[in-house]
Amino acid sequence: MSMTMSQKILAAHANVDQVRPGQLIMADLDLVLGNDITSPVAIKEFAKFGIDAVFDTSKIALVPDHFTPNKDIKAAQQCKMMREFAYDKKIEHYFEIGQMGIEHALLPEQGLVNAGDLIIGADSHTCTYGALGAFSTGVGSTDMAAAMATGKAWFKVPSALCFNLTGKLPPWVSGKDLILHIIGMIGVDGALYKSMEFTGEGVASLNIDDRFTICNMAIEAGAKNGIFGVDGVAIAYLGAHCKRTPLVFQADEDAEYERTYDIDLATLRPTVAFPHLPDNTRTIDEVGQIKIDQVVIGSCTNGRISDLRIAAKILKGKKVNPTVRTIVFPATQEIYLQAMDEGLLKIFVQAGAVVSTPTCGPCLGGHMGILAEGERAVATTNRNFVGRMGHPQSEVYLASPAVAAASALTGYISNPESIEE
Amino acid sequence: MKAQGKAFRYGENVDTDVIIPARYLNTSDAKELASHCMEDLDATFVKKVQLGDIIVAERNFGCGSSREHAPLAIKTAGISCVIASSFARIFYRNAINIGLPIMECEAAVAGIKMGDNVSVEFTKGVITNETTGERWSAEPFPPFIQKMISADGLIQYLQQEVLS
Ligand code: SF4
């Protein structure tokens, strides 16, 4: 029987030649991830095993990124618990404040993700690494605990949806607009339990940061994972970051997809997801006049260097609207440094934005930019659920860095095409 | 194994951010989490819920973040079973992994209203609305998952199967 790319990676890690959709397998993992929210629960569960050592000290990554630098005493206690576990178990990839970044930007950058890897993380956006041809998926803390002990996890083999991309994105339209468009089209459970596989000649024109953004939001369509084929763009990124040789899995020619969607990238428009679901999308032309109080540029979705470059291009030499609090979060220390070297941070500060240390911060309503009752934000993040960024009566509009930056200038959700350079 | 209680009936796409808002995630204490369960969706839930009660919701229950705090808060609040038209996948596995019984049954969801008295027989997969007398059968779990549930969760299951 033919297999999709995701199925082939699962089969290889379950040490079988063949898997079929719906089959339950136990598979070997290449990496297990946890953060400062999910790890404390996992550490408590790990203790129940009554074993001393983790399965492999080099295959676990612990990243304090959600409520850090410690937001309050309780958060500090959670981080302390994770730090002590990391030292005690001699976890190689523990990233202290100063080295850390938002986990899903950090792990690929640190070379912990390779093509062909099977990765689980106790964070739903673990699906980001599909951009590099890995099978990666979010799980809960008990799965993380079990994986730290055994190096294994159970999976139900997913069927797949195919997204066949053609053409090229127009100016000011990005991977974020594509994935918002897709989620708007198939719905927040449109890919439930399934893989989203992105193929077609249009893929070549998507840079690696766009691909990370696209796979990052696969979970927002309910998917188990999102994945791109490994091409020159992915190999170049891996070559610069990962020391291991890429393991390339290709979908069989006759692999079965539940459905194939053909998307011409050239037809896409800047797209915004209105509250309170990521599938509540409208193109920028249908948005109308929406006044905003805050703009957030960053997160594991859009806090990478190309995102910051786009925002800086729009904000350069201008001032943000004085009624809009504009907050920029480079996703990792390395991105922060690069943005500094390229002069992007200066552009942001001169424009009247604030630049934060890497953290999840306001993305999950943690700290560093919480919304009050009735306030609205345009954010380059990935979720706009009720109360996601603060008060249950606040609103989050999801958009690309270009739309977010343009909106910061005008005070309304705005089309980047309308901003004069 | 049976559960019985009154139904808390909700709509579709109940996400983990409303089940347990992130502002409370600076703790992993189950009781503290449970005291904020469903707060942003139904502020009266915590006051009204009694041991054994059942949550009944439409499709894609538990979507969003992977926080296991969500099924944990629900379980600790006293809920004996969640019935939904469908579950988001991470919530589904988390619930199984921590031993919170869940059932997928669209027909039952359509036939249950807020406050109805509902019972669930897990082994047979039978759901009954005791208030109206209507009865539905849901898909029972595959054997692999049944084993995990009877071992009382993933950790115990793995101790038996993998580590030994
Ligand atoms: S940036 Fe937001 S979505 Fe990404 S890991 Fe952090 S909290 Fe989650």
Q: Number of A:B CB contacts under 8 A?
A: 138
The answer to whether A188 contacts B21, with C-beta atoms less than 8 Å apart, is no
In this prediction, residue B64 carries a pLDDT of: 93
**Residues A228, A280 within the same domain:** no
In this prediction, residue A95 carries a pLDDT of: 98
**Residues A255, A288 within the same domain:** no
Do B72 and B125 form a contact (C-beta atoms < 8 A)? Answer: no
**Residues A187, A216 within the same domain:** yes
In this prediction, residue A20 carries a pLDDT of: 95
Spatial CB neighbours of A337, under 8 Å, sequence gap ≥ 6: none
A147 at B interface, C-beta within 8 A: no
In this prediction, residue B164 carries a pLDDT of: 58
The answer to whether A140 contacts B67, with C-beta atoms less than 8 Å apart, is yes
Looking at ligand 1, which atom is closest to the CA of residue A383?
A: 3
**Tell me, what CATH number does A395's domain have?**
3.30.499.10
Q: Is the pLDDT of residue A406 over 90?
A: yes
**Residues A246, A374 within the same domain:** no
For ligand 1, mutation pick of A217, A332, A364 (most atoms within 8 Å of CB): A364
Query: So what's the ipTM on this one?
Result: 0.91
A364 at B interface, C-beta within 8 A: yes
Q: Is the pLDDT of residue B17 over 90?
A: yes
For ligand 1, mutation pick of A382, A396, A398 (most atoms within 8 Å of CB): A382
**Residues A24, A48 within the same domain:** yes
For ligand 1, mutation pick of A67, A68, A104 (most atoms within 8 Å of CB): A104
In a domain, residue A219? The reply is yes
A395 at B interface, C-beta within 8 A: no
**Residues A322, A349 within the same domain:** yes
In a domain, residue A284? The reply is yes
Average pLDDT score over chain B: 92
**Residues A214, A181 within the same domain:** yes
Nearest chain A residue to B63, by CA: A222
Q: Is the pLDDT of residue A46 over 80?
A: yes
- Is the bond preceding A362 in cis, omega lying within 30 degrees of 0? no
Nearest chain B Cα distance for residue A221, angstroms:
9
List CB contacts (< 8 A) between A386 and chain B: 15, 17-18, 40-41
In a domain, residue A24? The reply is yes
Pick the residue with more confidence: A257 or B142? Answer: A257
Predicted confidence band at B142 (pLDDT cuts at 50, 70, 90)? confident
In a domain, residue A307? The reply is yes
Q: Is the pLDDT of residue A325 over 70?
A: yes
CA distances from residue A161 to A23, A222, A275 in whole angstroms, order as listed: 17, 12, 26
Domain boundary among the residues A240, A263, A286 is at: A263
Average pLDDT over residues B107-128: 95
In this prediction, residue A94 carries a pLDDT of: 98
Query: Structure pTM?
Result: 0.96
**Chain A 222-281, CB below 8 Å of chain B: which residues?**
222, 224, 277
**Residues A28, A124 within the same domain:** yes
In this prediction, residue B127 carries a pLDDT of: 97
Rounded to 5°, angle at Cα B10 from B7 and B13: 140
Residue type, A131: A
The proportion of chain A whose per-residue pLDDT surpasses 70, expressed as a percent, equals 100
- pLDDT tens track for A372-405: 999 999 999 999 999 999 999 999 999 999 999 9
Lowest-confidence segment of A98-107, A206-215, B94-103 by average pLDDT:
B94-103
Closest residue CA from atom 6 of ligand 1:
A360
- Residue A31 Cβ inside 6 Å of ligand 1? The answer reads no
In a domain, residue A411? The reply is yes
User: Could you list the residue range(s) of the whole structural domain that residue A66 is in?
Assistant: 5-263
Predicted confidence band at B163 (pLDDT cuts at 50, 70, 90)? low
Domain boundary among the residues A212, A231, A263 is at: A263
In this prediction, residue B145 carries a pLDDT of: 78
- Residue A382 Cβ inside 6 Å of ligand 1? The answer reads yes
Nearest chain B Cα distance for residue A66, angstroms:
10
The answer to whether B94 contacts A123, with C-beta atoms less than 8 Å apart, is no
Average pLDDT over residues A248-263: 97
Do A278 and A183 form a contact (C-beta atoms < 8 A)? Answer: yes
Q: Is the pLDDT of residue B156 over 70?
A: yes
Predicted confidence band at B1 (pLDDT cuts at 50, 70, 90)? confident
Predicted confidence band at B162 (pLDDT cuts at 50, 70, 90)? low
The answer to whether A388 contacts B27, with C-beta atoms less than 8 Å apart, is no
- pLDDT tens track for B57-68: 999 999 999 999
> Would you state the structure tokens that stand for residue A100, as one six-digit string?
């850390």
**Residues A125, A220 within the same domain:** yes
In this prediction, residue B139 carries a pLDDT of: 81
Q: Is the pLDDT of residue A421 over 70?
A: no
The answer to whether A138 contacts B66, with C-beta atoms less than 8 Å apart, is yes
In a domain, residue A241? The reply is yes
Q: CB count, 10 Å around CB of B31? A: 10
Query: What does chain B look like in DSSP terms, one character per residue?
Result: -EEEEEEEEE-S--BHHHHS-GGGTT---HHHHHTTTTTTT-TTHHHH--TT-EEEE-SSBTBS---THHHHHHHHTT--EEEES-B-HHHHHHHHHHT--EEE-HHHHHT--TT-EEEEETTTTEEEETTT--EEEPPPPPHHHHHHHHTTSHHHHHIIIII-
Average pLDDT score over chain A: 97
Q: Is the pLDDT of residue A148 over 90?
A: yes
**Residues A358, A278 within the same domain:** yes
List CB contacts (< 8 A) between A123 and chain B: 65-66
Average pLDDT over residues B43-47: 96
**Residues A128, A16 within the same domain:** yes
Q: From ligand 1's centre to the CA of A300, what distance in Å?
A: 6
- Residue A125 Cβ inside 6 Å of ligand 1? The answer reads yes
Average pLDDT over residues B78-88: 96
Please name which of A225, A223, A378, A226 lies closest in space to residue A293, comparing C-alpha atoms: A378
Nearest chain B residue to A195, by CA: B89
Q: Which helix (H) or strand (E) holds A138?
A: strand A135-138
In a domain, residue A268? The reply is no
- pLDDT tens track for A282-297: 999 999 999 999 999 9
- Residue A363 Cβ inside 6 Å of ligand 1? The answer reads yes
List CB contacts (< 8 A) between B41 and chain A: 386
Tokens 């996992």, residue located: A42
Q: Is the pLDDT of residue B152 over 80?
A: no
**Chain A 58-117, CB below 8 Å of chain B: which residues?**
66-67, 71-72, 74-75, 78
**Residues A235, A163 within the same domain:** yes
Q: Is the pLDDT of residue A327 over 80?
A: yes
Q: How many domains does chain A have?
A: 2
List CB contacts (< 8 A) between B98 and chain A: 140, 142
Domain boundary among the residues A231, A263, A295 is at: A263
